[in-house]
Amino acid sequence: MILRKGKVPRPTLVVLACLAASGYFMVEHFQVEVREPWYEAKRAAVKDAGRGQEVIRAARARAGLSLNYDADPQQTGLIGADDQGGALTTDRGFLKAKQAATHPNLAAVLVGMLKEAGVGEGDPVAVGMTGSFPGANLATICAIEEIRAKPIVITSIGSSTFGANEAELTWLDMEKALFDAGVIRTRSLAASIGGDKDKGVGLNKAVIALMEEAAKRNGVPLIREKTLVQSIDRRMALFAEAAGDRKIRCYVNIGGGLASVGSSVIGNSLIDTGLTKSFVERNYPTEGVMLKMLRSGKPVIHLLDFRKLADDHGLAMEDGLHRGVGEGPVFHSVRYNLWLVVGTLVTLLVATILAVRLDLRQALFEDRAPSPSVPPPAPGA
C-alpha cells in the first residue's frame, strides 16, 4: 500500500465529483412507491363509501327528489338544496366544503386518523354528527366499521345548505337506507333537532315538526332538553351507557353542531380540523361534548374545514368531480430507495478514502515500470 504524499490531484477530485453527482442522480430518480400503513383497510373503507353513495342516490330517487346537477356534478346524491329548496335548513353552508366531504377517499383519511388515535378492534368510538355533511357521516361510519371498532352515533337532524336539508331525505333517512342495504351496521343511538341551543331555537314550528317526524319514522329517540348544557350532559351519559365496560376510545365530531363543539368559536378556530390528542386549557365559552372528551384524555377527530382536509390529504376535486378515487398520498407515498442510498454512500466513502489516502497513480503505474537493467558480469568473474 502506497500512501499519498502531497495534495490530491485535480483529475482525481473531478472523478470523485462525477461519482457523487451520479449517485445523487440515481437516488433522486430511482425512488420507490410504498404503501401507506393500513392500506387494505383504507381501500375497503373507500369501496364501502362508494357503495353507500349508490344507495343514497337510489334513496333520493325513491323520495321523489332529483339530483342537483349544478351543485352535485358527481351525482353522489349527498348534496342537498340551497336556501330556497331545503325545508330543514338551519344555517348557510359552503358548497365547496360539501363537495369535498363527498370524496370517497375521505374514508381512507379517517382510517389513518383513527389508527393514529389508537383505536383498535372492538373499541367504542363516539360520533357526534349533523345533517350538514352526509358525505363525511358516511365516510366516518365506513372507516370505523372497517377497522372493526364500534361506532356510537348521536345525530343533530338539522343541516346547513347543501347538506341533508330536505324533509323527505334527512340524514336519518339516508342512514336507514344504508343500514337496510348492508353498507353499514350502525344506526343513530339518538338524535336532536340541532340548530341554536340544539333544539332549533328560532326555527319555524312546522320545520321542527318535520324533524320530529323524521326521527319518528326512522325509530330514533329524540333528545329533548331545556338547555344546551343539559343536552351536552345527556349526550355524554348516552355515550357512556352505550360503551359499557369498554371506555370510549376516541370522539369524532362532524360539522358544527353546538352540543358537540360547544360554540361556533370553538369549532371554527380554537380546535384545529383533524386529530387532536391533548387538551389545552383556555377560557372556552361552553364546553361541548368534544371538549369534555378531550379534557378526559380521549383523542378527538374534528371534521369541519373540509377544504383544508382535501388540501392536506390530496382529495383531488375538479369542478366538483372526484379525482383519484382509491389513489393518492393517503394510499401510497414515494420514498428514497434505502438500499440505493446506503450503497451510494458506501461507494462514495470508499472512493474518497482511497483517493485521499492512497497514491493510486503510483500504485497502478510505478510498480509496473521495468527495473533498471543489471550490467552483465565481467568476463572471468
Whole-Å CA distances, 177 to 51, 173, 221: 12, 6, 18
39 or 279, higher pLDDT: 39
What is the rounded distance in angstroms from the CA atom of residue 76 to the CA atom of residue 325? 13
Contact present, 289 and 235 (Cβ < 8 Å): yes
Give residue-wise pLDDT tens across range 319-353.
Answer: 788 887 888 788 876 667 677 778 888 888 887 77
Residues paired with 150 in a beta bridge: 124
pLDDT at 352: 78
What is the rounded distance in angstroms from the CA atom of residue 297 to the CA atom of residue 280? 11
Strands 159-160 and 89-91: parallel
Reading the block at residue 149, the C-alpha cell is 371498532
pLDDT at 354: 73
What is the rounded distance in angstroms from the CA atom of residue 254 to the CA atom of residue 304? 6
**Beta carbons within 8 Å of 53's beta carbon, 6+ residues apart:** 76, 77, 78, 102, 104, 135, 138
Q: Look up cell 324533524; give the residue.
A: 211
SS3 179: helix
Percent of the chain with pLDDT over 90: 56
146-174: average pLDDT: 95
Contact present, 222 and 100 (Cβ < 8 Å): no
pLDDT higher than 70, residue 210: yes
Alpha helices in 147-227 (DSSP H): 171-180, 205-217
Whole-prediction pTM = 0.81
pLDDT at 319: 77
pLDDT at 362: 53
Confidence of residue 82 (pLDDT cuts 50, 70, 90): confident
pLDDT higher than 80, residue 360: no
Give residue-wise pLDDT tens across range 133-147.
Answer: 999 999 999 999 999
pLDDT higher than 60, residue 4: no
366-372, Cβ contacts within 8 angstroms, sequence gap of 24 or more: none
Q: Angle 98-89-61 (CA atoms, 0-180°, nearest 5)?
A: 70
Counting every residue, how long is the chain? 381
256 or 334, higher pLDDT: 256
Confidence of residue 3 (pLDDT cuts 50, 70, 90): low
pLDDT at 1: 52
What is the rounded distance in angstroms from the CA atom of residue 94 to the CA atom of residue 160? 9
Contact present, 220 and 190 (Cβ < 8 Å): yes
Give residue-wise pLDDT tens across range 257-286.
Answer: 889 988 766 666 678 899 999 888 777 778
Radius of gyration of the chain (CA): 32
Strands (E) in 28-133, as ranges, are 32-35, 89-91, 124-130
pLDDT at 5: 56
Least confident of 45-54, 81-90, 144-153, 362-371: 362-371
Short-list 178, 102, 86, 165, CA closest to 130? 165
Strands (E) in 103-234, as ranges, are 124-130, 150-156, 159-160, 190-192
**Beta carbons within 8 Å of 30's beta carbon, 6+ residues apart:** 337, 340
Give residue-wise pLDDT tens across range 92-122.
Answer: 888 999 999 999 999 999 999 999 999 999 9
Mean pLDDT of the chain: 86
pLDDT at 233: 96
Element (H, E) at 300: strand 300-303
What is the rounded distance in angstroms from the CA atom of residue 42 to the CA atom of residue 381? 95
Confidence of residue 361 (pLDDT cuts 50, 70, 90): low
pLDDT at 370: 55
Ramachandran sector of residue 195 (left: φ over 0; alpha: ψ -120 to 50; beta: rest) = left
Segments making up each domain of the chain, as ranges = 10-31+336-362, 39-332
pLDDT at 36: 82
Contact present, 303 and 276 (Cβ < 8 Å): no
39-56: average pLDDT: 96
What is the rounded distance in angstroms from the CA atom of residue 290 to the CA atom of residue 127? 10
pLDDT at 343: 80
Confidence of residue 46 (pLDDT cuts 50, 70, 90): very high
